[in-house]
Structure 1
Amino acid sequence: MPAIQTTYAAQHARWVEGMVLNMEPSVVVTRLAEDVEGIGFGKVCVQGTADNQVVDSEATVKFCGIAVLDTTRPTGKYEQYDNVAVVKKGVIVVTASEAVAVGDPVYYTPATGVLSKTSTSNTLIANAQWDTSTSGAVGKGYTGLVNSSTPTATTAPADGTGSATTFASKTPDQVLRDINGQLTGIFTGTLGAEIADTILLPYAVLLDLSTRRIDAVNQTTILEWIERNNIYTRTTGQALTIRGVFGYLDTAGASSTKRMVAYRRSPEVLKMHIPMPFRFLPAWQTGPIKFDVPGIFRVGGVDIRRPKAVRYLDGI
């Protein structure tokens, strides 16, 4: 039997695609996976050939629901002829293809199943809405860590291959220079009072840096080179935290370009206001032998208290 998992993170993910997120009432039905390629967790399911069959998203086919996570599946998805748990009503974790805000409508691209808030050439999922976002709730006047208007935002130098600004087009020295420029920009902009200790990168950019070597003969990757030679580590002797963020940074920059976020990770700089922490309410009976235990919490948005301790680099 092949190994199901060979690596383990120090912490569990906050959520994964297909996870039923809370104990709100939900409707989940069982269907059969018709397609040879199967159906991934958290993906759009549409009507198959038979009444009890579903396939992954296809054009002009009726929407049925979202595939629920099943941790017992060794391949990480529902294979052909598997019983598929499909949520028709409830809260479920999916991946957004663009920045979304709480309350935005949910659309999917018929041919691919990609989920978004954009209506053009897409199909509306009736009565569905996005329930959370790291980019803030625009409708309520909120912004988040990656799209606030208060930090300084600059564009990466256009000196990569073909005068491009992207990290993928640049040498290791140029990438290190761009990153150090943001770190030192915070340091000099605050007269030495602040220095960034954390960098957030689009996931694809982080993947590129972690796999591309600094030259053809050296085994050191660009990411390892940055981790050793960044100005924060050289100044403090401490490791610079570099994290990849899926989705939200891909279009957060000017003209929908990729954005890097550099900041000092501290409550003095950032605070997520939670006036009412999550709590369970008393159980209440919703059927002859059915009881629900609802939960409730309130959030007040992200407060960037020291905008000069946060910087954006766009076009990477």
Structure 2
Amino acid sequence: MNHRTQDLTGRIALVAGATRGAGRAIARELGRAGAVVHCTGRSTAGRPSDSGRSETIEGTAELITASGGTAHPVVVDHLDPGAVRDLVDRIEEEQGRLDILVNDIGGEAYVQFGLPLWEYDLDAGLRLFDTGLKTHLLTSHAALGLLARNPGGLVVEVIDGTRAYNVSHYRETVFLDLTKTAVDRLAFAEGHELADHGGTAVSVTPGWLRSEMMLEAFGVTEETWREASEANRGRADAVPPYEFVISETPAMLARGISALAADPGRAAWNTRSVSSFELARHDDLRDQDGSRPDAWSFLRAMEQAPAGDLEVGDYR
């Protein structure tokens, strides 16, 4: 397995939405590489998340410090402009700069699959739009002035699906489709505004993320997911679906983002939409099991050929 620790010593990072999944892994990887990581979320001891899960922002900070990093956990509602501004003011007062901003707040708790727009619960749809997009916009509005003061700043907007994939694929519900594609466009726009200040903004998507929530939703574990997925080859509507064989842990995304932050040539990625696979291939990185899943290519290939004609090993 190839996992080179990047050197981000002296860099100041803010990871918004770092309680679990990709955000937690990114915060942990940045801390392991030497960055001072301000990690935020709303889930804290005694106050569970919207999805009712047990992970907390304090737990993320403990993982960072256990890896030898420096973490500052902060409970923040990123839909509250005043709270976000207070957070950035605190970073400015304590650190004097901001070098890396990762926006990873999702809103998946409000997704209602299988419903057309006119049947979708409007409050849930607007909540998805707010938590999945508005939080990113409010955080960037408050933080980019500080980040742009010094050249070399990096903004990462975590999305679902590359720009090339999403342009020709409907993402199952109107609210989800608009939210995820708008976040990509936000990174594109931020990159244009940061370019004159020596900054870089990119949207980055994982492949099929094998997060804690996804494992639980499919009723599998990190030890059983592969066998369960392969057993459903050729079976429609099976759980987990066969396509889950191409899934990846949050670590591959986190390693790629850490490498991007440490790359002196990162400006070449400005305004782009990239996948965890592209970043891993560029820096010769791999997932925890030593593989390098190319989920988006695999999913496209499955649209063209029966599952029986594809070898998942060709895409890992």
Higher relative contact order (CA 8 A, sep 6+): 2
Using the size of structure 1 for normalisation, the TM-score is: 0.26
Structure number with larger C-alpha Rg:
1
Higher strand share: 1
Using the size of structure 2 for normalisation, the TM-score is: 0.26
